[in-house]
Amino acid sequence: MRRSIAALILITACQSQADERRDVGRSSAGERSSPKPEVDPDPDATRKRACIDAALVGVEPRFHTLVRSLCAESVERDIPGLALAVVEPGAAPFELQLGVRCAGEPTTIDATTQFRFGSVSKTVTAALTLGLVEEGRVSLTSSADAPGVPDPTLAALLSHRSGLGEIEPAQLVSLDGAWLAALARSEAAGAPGEYHYSNAGYAVIGAMLTTATEQDYRTLVGERVAAPLGLASFRVDAKQASAAACGHLEHDPDRHPIRVAEDLEFMPGDPSWMDPAGGVLGSATDLAQFGLALGGSQLPGTAAMLERGGPLPPAHTRSPSQHRDERYGYGLRSWTLADGTTAYGHSGNNGAFASELMFVPGRRAIVLLANCGAKLPASVAAAEHLLAAR
């Protein structure tokens, strides 16, 4: 089922609110008292109601809470466009799209719209890696063997326990984009074995995969993930993403659109080294299909991604007070739902796009994509509630 909501939400927003005013009655002298100006506790309430009324038409009740949350947060956070997909085995996907691809332009979000996945790309990279492990092309005990860089194992890199820190932008600029040399000059994040989230670590993984296969990351994603699963929207080269949404910075009140074909032009050198950490684009439904395929025969080796890994330090958990046993293994975070089921997922936010993938193997996968870096806490909570439903 597909629901696309764009200009429709403006109709209700433009309606007169005269019928919402109540008669204030008459005074004891028989005269009508002066009407008191009403103060709407939520100035965006009309736009939210318009979005909700349009989006809920024909939608199953089990999706209502999530749809309401998305409408409310898209208005509150001034997000130009959103896409939701819920994929379940043997059923047609539920899809919802809100808003436009690029602020100030008429093209609306649809089921084919491509968003940057941000750090959810790491889950794609992990799937590639474990497929090559299955084939014997690389080993989880393989070391990076990069000049001037500590030689963590592939397993440590996948689980963010390599000790590698992030590349310092000043070093990258001074070295004209030579990222490995810049990484060699950057400080370690901690001791090997300690959890420290590292984008640079996944860039190193990408370099290891390219060395092992003599294929670049873009080719690997296309041939080993997108093609076997039929994910037509998956791209790594943003210039080939013909249906891509623009990104929009959360702190930009004017929501100037940033086209994905141009959003990395400020980077020195060739920025493709960052692709394994955050460079994949695609649609919400294709990402959900990918999530549901993890651990299955179409993606050999990925059953290892469903091994839960080590516990996350409290500072890195999403809900430290809820005792959800949050962990991070090979490219996936995992946690325990209220019914005791283990859920898996990853989030991403590069400042201009936000993404959320969550799934229970064999049950359902849910994806939220936004073309703005704003957080969606209520929608994520509603999605987790739906994820747990039997």
For residue 335 the two structure tokens come to 């946690």
Q: Do β-strands 81-87 and 333-336 pair in parallel, antiparallel, or remain unpaired? A: unpaired
- Kindly state whether residue 87 falls inside one of the protein's structural domains: no
On the question of pLDDT at 18 being above 50, the answer is no
pLDDT tens track for 214-229:
999 999 999 999 999 9
Q: Does residue 189 or residue 232 have the better pLDDT?
A: 232
d(CA 82, CA 95): 11
Alpha helices for the chain (secondary structure H):
9-13, 45-55, 64-76, 121-135, 154-158, 169-174, 179-185, 199-213, 217-221, 227-229, 275-278, 284-293, 377-388
Which pLDDT does position 189 carry in this prediction?
86
Which pLDDT does position 201 carry in this prediction?
95
- Kindly state whether residue 32 falls inside one of the protein's structural domains: no
Nearest to 176 by CA among 306, 77, 271, 285: 271
Task: List the domain range (segments joined by +) for residue 316.
Answer: 115-388
- Kindly state whether residue 335 falls inside one of the protein's structural domains: yes
Lookup result for tokens 């474990």: 130
pLDDT tens track for 289-327:
999 999 999 999 999 999 999 999 888 887 655 668 999
- Kindly state whether residue 141 falls inside one of the protein's structural domains: yes
Per-chain mean pLDDT for the chain: 89
User: How would residue 135 be classed by pLDDT, with cut points 50, 70 and 90?
Assistant: very high
Between the alpha carbon of residue 41 and those of residues 38, 238, 385, the distances in Å are: 9, 42, 27
For residue 270 the two structure tokens come to 């060739």
On the question of pLDDT at 35 being above 70, the answer is no
- Kindly state whether residue 10 falls inside one of the protein's structural domains: no
- Kindly state whether residue 104 falls inside one of the protein's structural domains: no
Which pLDDT does position 372 carry in this prediction?
98
User: How would residue 145 be classed by pLDDT, with cut points 50, 70 and 90?
Assistant: confident
Between the alpha carbon of residue 123 and those of residues 142, 187, 282, 333, 342, the distances in Å are: 19, 25, 14, 10, 17
Which pLDDT does position 1 carry in this prediction?
56
CB atoms within 10 A of CB 165: 17
- Kindly state whether residue 97 falls inside one of the protein's structural domains: no
Q: Domain count for the chain, please give it.
A: 1
- Kindly state whether residue 17 falls inside one of the protein's structural domains: no
What is the CATH classification number for the domain harbouring 360?
3.40.710.10
Q: 278 pairs with which residues across the strands?
A: none
SS3 of residue 111 by DSSP: coil
pLDDT tens track for 66-77:
999 999 999 999
Q: Does residue 202 or residue 180 have the better pLDDT?
A: 202
On the question of pLDDT at 78 being above 90, the answer is yes
